[in-house]
Structure 1
Amino acid sequence: MTISKISQMLADVTQYIYEAAMRIFGPNDDAYPTIGVQPFTGEPYKKGTADTW
């Protein structure tokens, strides 16, 4: 391997790691709606009812 190929491989690895770090630690790009807390509308847990089926 020549020095230029080693240098290019090192640059590629560095860019790959940098892009991964920027994706992890960058600003959040999720587009979830802000809906707030939802009330619980289910049945309360009763001990023993889950054992019957």
Structure 2
Amino acid sequence: MAVVTAVTGAGEAAALGLQLASGPLADPSRCFRTGTIADYVLTAVSVPVVGLTGVL
């Protein structure tokens, strides 16, 4: 269970870091929709991988 918690925490930290870094980049370009869709796709792909941690 500790591995799942660590992987989930690392994933959340990475997502927050990417949001923090991409915010200033998206603001001048006004391409909010692309960044938002990319964020949802990244989440949709990475969350099932967390479920595989017990298998790996």
TM-score tier by shorter-chain length is 0.3 to 0.5
Q: TM-score, normalization: structure 1?
A: 0.41
Decide which structure has the larger Cα Rg and report it: 1
Q: Which has the higher contact order (CA 8 A, sep 6+)?
A: 2
Q: TM-score, normalization: structure 2?
A: 0.39
Structure with the higher helix share, 1 or 2: 2
